[in-house]
Homo-oligomer: A and B are copies of this chain.
Amino acid sequence: MVSEDFKSMLQGKSVIRQLSEYATARGAEIGYENVFDYSLGNPSVPTPKSFTDAMIRLLTEEDPMTIHGYSQSQGIPRVRQAHADFLNRKYGMKYTAEHLFMTTGAAGAIAHATRAVTKPGDEVVTIAPFFPEYMQYINRTGAELKVVPAKTSDFQIDFDAMDAAINEKTMAVLINSPNNPSGAMYSEDTLKKLAALMYEKQDKFGHDIFLISDEPYREIVFDGKEAPYPAHYYDNTLTCYSYSKSLSIPGERIGYVAVNPAATDADIISVMCGQISRGIGHNCPPSIIQLAVSEVLGETADLSVYERNMNILYDELTALGFEVTRPGGTFYIMPKAPGGDSIAFCNKAKEYDLILVPADSFSAPGFFRMAYCIDTEKVERSLEALRRLMKTY
């Protein structure tokens, strides 16, 4: 008999998926260029040529038995070494190859990191708003995801709520900065306070509490800033990364877990991830993709369009009277819905061919998300639709 547990998951299509399908269908009617589709967080800028060149070079110059051969379950040694070297240069860390575990994207990274530091029945704390797939990534390990409500004034962390959420069963805290869906980036001050609180809780409960830091938007940061690197502030940090956004290769499923060398059991966590992979059918990310990303470390697609789009939208949204926190990074912005009912607002927006996503499923009820990973020209054309929509409020 098929699993009733997984069968039951077939009922609910995600709101984002529904809206994206609506946008596609509406596009078939009126031309997709006339649908202001802010639904999907899908990179919109081309993959850098250097990545393509690296792939072609591997295919034409290297031994196929090497580039297509088995990777160790932790990843190809030279790829892990290159990552350690790069991260050490960029962030002043002391990683060795042994601290790296190559994964199938951030999803694979979080799935492994969580299994490495929790057991069924443990709790993992995350902070609203958050990517709804976290529910799956965490709860399917047997641990339980606990949610700290959003600090809606600036989408940093409500430390009183955080303090109350961490208990003796808490084995990990999962953060995502820059954040999907709010676009907020945790400040150095926020990360320092978070570290202080987590150190205090470790002492209080007498066990490690790991920080699982999901950082796929780390390179999409605005105003000339750099994202602070959370592992700097807290020893027990497992940095989870994906190249999906920085290289515009979301389909190639490549990322890593980097284990802070100062973490408890730092020398074995990556090896443990290799063991974990045996039971979940992951094994290792594709060899050629591992090799290709290791040849373009530090390079990114031209990400400037996201900041341009953010500024256009932020200026218009604030001019129109929206309550909105200015994003520090990502390609999302999350204003408050006028009237307070985000579902009603996003439904109304569809009448103007504006596809906006209620942020309720991101645990930010009353807000809506705009994924502005679309052409700037379309962002500009969408402003008139936004204005007409707001006249009805």
Contact surface of A with B, Cβ cutoff 8 Å: 1-7, 9-10, 42-44, 46-47, 52, 55-56, 59-60, 64-65, 67-71, 103-105, 107-112, 115-119, 133, 136-137, 139-141, 171, 207-208, 248-254, 264-265, 268-269, 271-272, 275-276, 278-289
Q: Which residues of B contact A59 (CB under 8 A)?
A: 52, 55-56, 59
Q: Which residues of B contact A71 (CB under 8 A)?
A: 251
Q: Which residues of B contact A289 (CB under 8 A)?
A: 286, 288
Query: Would you call A7 and B119 a contact (CB within 8 A)?
Result: no
Q: Which residues of B contact A286 (CB under 8 A)?
A: 251-254, 285-286, 289
With A70-B251, A251-B288 known to touch, is A103 a contact of B7 (CB < 8 Å)? Answer: no
What are the 4 tightest A-B residue pairs by CB atom distance, in nearest-first order?
A111-B281, A140-B279, A251-B287, A108-B281
Query: Would you call B275 and A10 a contact (CB within 8 A)?
Result: yes
A43 to B207, CA, bound (A): 45
Query: Would you call B68 and A2 a contact (CB within 8 A)?
Result: no
CB distance from A277 to the nearest CB of B (A): 9
7 additional A-B pairs beyond A2-B208, A69-B250, A288-B289, beta carbons within 8 Å, are A42-B70, A46-B65, A47-B65, A56-B56, A56-B59, A111-B279, A137-B279
Query: Would you call A207 and B10 a contact (CB within 8 A)?
Result: no
Q: Which residues of B contact A119 (CB under 8 A)?
A: 3-5
Q: Which residues of B contact A248 (CB under 8 A)?
A: 64-65, 68
Q: Which residues of B contact A111 (CB under 8 A)?
A: 279-281
A47 to B63, CA, bound (A): 10
Query: Would you call B42 and A280 a contact (CB within 8 A)?
Result: no
Query: Would you call B4 and A283 a contact (CB within 8 A)?
Result: no
